[in-house]
Structure 1
Amino acid sequence: MAPFELAHIGCASRLARLRNELDPKGNMKVLLSIKPEFAEKILSGEKKYEFRKVLPKAQDIKIIVIYASQPTGKVVGEFEIAQIISDTPNKIWSRTKEGAGISRRYFDEYFAGKALAHAIQVRTVKRYARPRALGTVLPSGIAPQSFCYIKK
């Protein structure tokens, strides 16, 4: 098989995999590992932005599923993305500080040495009535370091 054919097959299988990662409305979901205290602030409405150094490459992500990392270790809810803002850390802080849910010091430490920062603005939040074991969302049951696409 020619290299082009292999690449084409790879794209086709990736596309099929991405189609399986959509929610019923056709929106892609991504699971983010978030520290428990920040997950709770998002669920309570206090934290209106989730900050990231790196974003998923897929462009059509609409829903973030929240995995509250250890010691909680559960999938606790989800939120719809209002928008994603990418800019220098200083500009991101200026735009988001009122709803950041974190201190300026924590923000600066997180983005230390980075030229680019991302802020995911939270829209509609849904707290799960019962937190779910990670294995019910990810067959591997292994928490991602940052994020992963999730399948139906």
Structure 2
Amino acid sequence: MTRALLLSIKPQFARAILEGRKTIEVRRRFPYIDPGTTVVLYSSSPEKAVLGTVRLRRTIKVNPDCVWGLHGSDIGISESDLNAYLEGADESTLLEVDCPDSWEQPVPLNSLRTVLGIEPSQSFRYLATEQVEQAKQLSAPDV
């Protein structure tokens, strides 16, 4: 079974990724994910909806002290915010993404729960590719 990833992310970062302005998502700890994996972007509170997908180009483990120097222009946050987020971290993982696909309409949390039985986690969860297709169908205007 092919897996996809449902990634919970703050609304401003989800939109920046889908607009192509942010190509790297920084996480303190994150498992290795295969390149080419579909990443479903769940925009967290207050939006609480899936906005679209991207493709994972690669997962990069980086010393937290090196993130800004290597990828500062690709992560979509200020250096001070990055430092505050990574403070005390002994590792960091960069999710490099491409191929943004904004869905026609956001799929609200209530639809994820009631129609698909999906509960977004605080960070991420795995999905079957069939669940991604079902979620995308919910974003069509006639649903």
Q: TM-score range by the shorter chain?
A: 0.7 to 0.9
AA in 1 matched with 2:10: K
What SS does structure 2 have at the residue aligned with 1:150? strand
What SS does structure 1 have at the residue aligned with 2:37? strand
Question: 2:21 and 2:79 mapped to 1: Cα distance?
Answer: 16
- The yes-or-no answer on 1:112 pairing with 2:87 is yes
AA in 2 matched with 1:87: V
Q: How many residues are matched?
A: 127
Question: 1:94 and 1:125 mapped to 2: Cα distance?
Answer: 25
Give the CA deviation at 1:55.
1.6
Q: Normalization by structure 1: what TM-score?
A: 0.75
Cα 1:129–1:97 shift into 2, 3 Å: same
AA in 1 matched with 2:73: E
Cα 1:42–1:147 shift into 2, 3 Å: same
Q: Which runs of 4+ in 1 moved over 3 A?
A: 56-61, 134-141
Cα 1:135–1:148 shift into 2, 3 Å: farther
Residue of structure 2 equivalent to 1:131: 106
AA in 1 matched with 2:66: K
Residue of structure 1 equivalent to 2:39: 64
Asked whether the 8 Å contact 1:43–1:127 carries over to 2, the reply is yes
Q: Normalization by structure 2: what TM-score?
A: 0.80
Residue of structure 2 equivalent to 1:103: 78
Structure 1 vs Structure 2 CA RMSD: 1.9
AA in 2 matched with 1:93: W
Give the CA deviation at 1:86.
0.7
Which blocks of at least 5 consecutive residues in structure 2 are unaligned? 131-143
Matches within 5 A, 1:75-86: 75-86=50-61
AA in 2 matched with 1:77: G
Larger-Rg structure? 1
Matches within 5 A, 1:15-26: 19=1, 22=2
